[in-house]
């Protein structure tokens, strides 16, 4: 009995699928599409007017954000993104004393190697050559692994929709970009704190601004290399930790943390069936040997019993014969007539067969 072909082929099939998965997720040195677009957010110019929030909601068909632009109490507590707010402006107080408060707009960063696209098991996200990361609600199953994994907390889910809930976030106004327009927030910003253009050009521009006015900016351009780089670049007026952004992010794209492990799956699928079949074969062999030994023992026992039986039978037969002989003599002796000499009969005693 060998390992069933079914089991082996099944393992092979799983391994092939997983190998395909690993190939797709393997680490490639792809520098990104050269002409991709991006946005530069200069937080030293942001005055917290929230026109971007209103413009974004209008373009995406959402109700206007809570609190009108004139109500500055909305900044008292930091706000996160939500399914009704694809972008949000928050106020931050730098740790250096005497500095005025600074503002920063938060939204999906449209990473160069987006984690959401990598973790989606129905490939609902696509990184377009133009830069934006797009979402396809027609295949989304609602597992929310993307919302779970995003390091910038940029995705939101429509929890209150029971039948057609979607993952929602900033889309970099992809339809408008395709038509040659600017994203709505870039158009709406009155101070020009959001600038739209080719990502390469924006990086150069950001460096130039930092060079010209070193006191205004923290010497780090957020998004240039963080987790592989993002399409939204942020010129910071204070260190990232003070402005609600994660600090000391590695330059390795985030999906790489998982693909290393996943690429082992085909290896496991290739090795383990054989290995386990080997264990199973050893077990089977051990059982077989046990069985054979058992059978041999039983056979020996049986033969021994048979020979003993034959021997016993023979001796029993002999005993019966002797006993019969003795009984006959006894009977003869008893049956002999008591008087005179009788003429010797020539009759031979009848022989009785035992």
Partner 1 sequence: MSSPATRQGWFSPFNVVAGLILAFGAVIVALRFIHGLGYATNLTQTTTWGLWTGFKLVFVALAASGYALTTAVYIFGMDEYHPLVRPAVLSGFMGYSLFILILLFDLGRAWRIYYPFLVQPGATSALFEIALCVALYYTTQFLELTPVAFEWLGWRRWRRVMVGVTVALTIFGLLLSILHQSTLGALFLSVPGKLHPLWYSPYIPLHFFISSCVGGISMVILLGVISKRLWSHKFEISREQLDRLTVGLGKGGAIALAVYFAVKLVDIPLGNKWHELTTPWGAWYLVELLGFVLLPCGLYAYGHRERLPGLIRFTAAWTVAGVVLNRLNIAVVAFNWKFPLHLRYFPSWMEWVVVLFLVTLGITIFRFVARNFAILHDHPDYLAHH
Partner 2 sequence: MARFTRKAPLGVAALALLLAGGCGREAEPVPPPAAVITMDWPAGFGKPERIPVQFPHQQHQQALQAEGCQACHLYDEAGKFSPRLKKKFAGNEAGDYADSVHGFCLDCHQQRRAAGKKSGPGQQECGLCHREYQPGKWRRQPMFFDYSLHQRHIEASGQKCEACHHLYDEKEKKLYYRKNTETACFDCHGDHDQGKKPSWKNAAHTDCISCHLKKRQEGRQQAGAAGRQDQRLGPVDCLGCHDLDRRLAIKKLEKIPRLDRGQLDRIWVQTAGTKAKLVPFDHRRHETGSFFCTGCHHHALRSCQDCHDQAGNNPAGGGVSREQAFHDPHSQHSCVGCHLAQTDRPACAGCHALLPRRASDSSCRLCHRGPEPEKLAEQSVLVSPLARAEAPAGTAAEPVPVPRPELFAEVPAPPLPQPTKTAFPRELVLDSGGKKYQPTKFPHLKIVQKLYAPVAESPLAIFFQPRVEIFCAGCHHHQPLGTRPTACVSCHPARPDPRKDRPGLREAYHRQCLGCHRAMKLKQQGCTDCHQEEEKKNEEAGQ
Touching partner 1, residues 237-256 (CB under 8 A): 246, 254-255
Residue 44 Cβ vs partner 2, minimum distance, rounded to whole Å? 9
Show contacts with partner 2 in window 147-206 (CB under 8 A): 189-192, 197, 205
Q: Which of 64, 153, 178, 208 binds partner 2 (CB under 8 A)?
A: 208
Binding-site partner at residue 69 among partner 1, partner 2, none, CB < 5 to 8 Å by type? partner 2
β-partners of residue 156 are 168
Q: Are the C-beta atoms of residues 113 and 253 closer than 8 Å to each other?
A: yes
Binding-site partner at residue 39 among partner 1, partner 2, none, CB < 5 to 8 Å by type? none
| 287 touches partner 1 by CB under 8 A | yes
Handedness of CA 217, 221, 226, 231 (dihedral sign): positive
Q: Are the C-beta atoms of residues 41 and 166 closer than 8 Å to each other?
A: no
| 30 touches partner 1 by CB under 8 A | no
Cβ closest to partner 2, residue 69 vs residue 249: 69
Show contacts with partner 2 in window 66-85 (CB under 8 A): 68-72
Binding-site partner at residue 159 among partner 2, partner 1, none, CB < 5 to 8 Å by type? partner 1
Residue 241 Cβ vs partner 2, minimum distance, rounded to whole Å? 19
Handedness of CA 52, 170, 110, 252 (dihedral sign): positive
Show contacts with partner 1 in window 35-74 (CB under 8 A): none
Q: For residue 229, count CB atoms less than 10 angstroms from its CB and return exposed for 0-12, middle for 13-18, buried for 19 or more.
A: buried
DSSP-derived 3-state class of residue 204 = helix
**Residue range at the interface with partner 2 (CB under 8 A); choices 211-219, 220-228, 247-255, 256-264:** 211-219
**C-alpha atoms less than 13 angstroms from C-alpha of 304 in its C-beta half-sphere:** 6
Q: How many residues of this chain interact with partner 2, rule: CB under 8 A?
A: 22
Taking the mean position of all CA atoms in its chain, how far away is CA 212? 48
Which helix (H) or strand (E) covers residue 338, if one does? none
Which two three-digit tokens encode residue 283?
């077990």
Q: How many residues of this chain interact with partner 1, rule: CB under 8 A?
A: 71
The CA–CA distances, whole Å, from 348 to 98, 316, 351 equal 150, 29, 8
Picking from 96, 127, 91, the residue whose alpha carbon sits closest to that of residue 106 is 91
Show contacts with partner 1 in window 88-127 (CB under 8 A): 115, 117-124
Show contacts with partner 1 in window 145-164 (CB under 8 A): 145, 147-149, 151, 153, 155-162, 164
| Residues at the contact surface with partner 2, assessed by CB under 8 A | 45, 47-49, 51, 68-72, 100, 189-192, 197, 205, 208-209, 212-213, 215
């Amino acid at each position: 009995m060998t390992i069933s072909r079914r089991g082996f082929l099944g393992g092979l099939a799983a391994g092939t699928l997983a190998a395909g998965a690993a190939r797709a997720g393997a680490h490639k040195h792809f520098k990104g599409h050269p002409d991709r677009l991006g946005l530069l957010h200069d937080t030293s110019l942001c005055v917290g007017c929230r026109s971007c929030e209103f413009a974004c909601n209008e373009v995406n068909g959402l109700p206007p954000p809570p609190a009108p632009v004139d109500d500055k109490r909305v900044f008292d507590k930091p706000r996160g993104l939500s399914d009704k707010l694809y972008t949000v402006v928050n106020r931050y107080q730098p740790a250096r004393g005497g500095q005025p408060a600074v503002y920063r707009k938060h939204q999906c960063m449209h990473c160069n190697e987006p984690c959401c696209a990598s973790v989606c098991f129905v490939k609902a996200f696509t990184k377009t050559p133009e830069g934006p990361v797009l979402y396809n609600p027609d295949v989304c199953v609602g597992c929310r692994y993307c919302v779970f994994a995003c390091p910038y907390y940029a995705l939101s889910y429509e929890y209150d929709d029971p039948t057609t809930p979607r993952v929602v976030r900033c889309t970099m106004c992809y339809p408008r970009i395709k038509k040659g327009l600017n994203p709505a927030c870039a158009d709406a910003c009155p101070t020009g704190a959001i600038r739209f253009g080719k990502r390469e050009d924006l990086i150069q521009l950001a460096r130039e601004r930092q060079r010209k006015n070193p006191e205004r900016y923290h010497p780090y351009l957020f998004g240039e290399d963080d987790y592989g780089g993002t399409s939204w670049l942020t010129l910071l007026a204070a260190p990232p930790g003070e402005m609600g952004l994660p600090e000391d992010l590695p330059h390795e794209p985030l999906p790489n943390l998982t693909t290393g492990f996943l690429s082992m799956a085909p290896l496991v699928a290739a090795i383990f069936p054989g290995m386990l079949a080997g264990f199973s074969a050893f077990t089977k062999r051990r059982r077989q040997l046990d069985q054979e030994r058992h059978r041999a023992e039983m056979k020996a026992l049986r033969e021994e019993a048979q020979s003993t039986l034959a021997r016993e039978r023979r001796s029993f037969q002999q005993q019966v014969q002797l006993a019969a002989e003795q009984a006959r003599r006894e009977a003869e002796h008893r049956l002999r007539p008591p008087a005179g000499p009788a003429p010797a009969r020539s009759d031979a005693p009848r022989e009785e067969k035992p």
